[in-house]
Structure 1
């Protein structure tokens, strides 16, 4: 059962999401929060698998709340950012804060449930429009960061290859086909990459790959 916390300052949005997700056999809504501060407090108390996080909220915005949740070693929750896609400036910052993906607020009910499942499984949920904005931001920021580059040397050649393919948005199945190996082998490599680099999930792996220069805009 996937346990979900919904954080949004609009009561009708929280209710709508809660009602639909509550009908899913594998998803349970364990709580709601009306602002970022409450989201952090409830995440600590309830330990949900996934937090659906709005960005613009009173007292503490969704980015600050995401940063606090991701930095707390006692909270293993994945954060799925709710966005209207007019938030260009937030995309990179949200991923740096620890978000595992983005979901359109006008997404269909089926897309909402699938997004929760994808993020709970440790996958990154990055729509093409978000990925393009993210690449533009990396291009604007310039070169790689030296400390991150040094950590990249800890990976084996195959692990580095897998990280590069993850950063290009390929699924485990697609990577397995590209490398002609079993999908379980790819999962093992991805797990080792995350562990060695101290990353939470594939979304952070994508950020890391661009920051180190392993992947560059246009690749």
Structure 2
């Protein structure tokens, strides 16, 4: 009886580990780490990497999607970030990692249509393998990583988390975490706030 119980517990533990590995990302980057470059398909049909932005001083990498209400609430603010900071060397690079078998409206064709309808001025990439999201440690949509380009292929993570402190209503924003972080970097300072918990929908991981 005891041996049977131990066997059952052991099998349950194995199943739990397999389930976690199938549905949860790895720990990912922390503030101060250097992010590795990636190569993903953009909505224009071309592959894009951070190295393609030769004049960039850094990046606002946003894991987002078409379907999450929080991502939709932040959409205009993400667009404003690109409009306000791409000319200063910090373009938005948006990445959609959702499993399209669970969220068909996050397919590339739907991404292209949304970008056209909304007038996106930034790259919107598909992370079909979800390897980039896992490498970063993204868990939500939206989930932001501010990268400081220290040298060629050296992208230091300076901020991780939420865009601001009002996920539902832009008119209620009082703390602009991403803007503050970039403004600090542009003036040669370290961001005062380097992490704020991202609030959004859970990324739809492949099983």
- Larger Rg belongs to: 2
TM-score by structure 1 length?
Answer: 0.26
Which protein has greater RCO, CA pairs closer than 8 Å, 6+ apart?
2
Which has the larger share of strand?
2
Which has the larger share of helix?
1
TM-score by structure 2 length?
Answer: 0.27
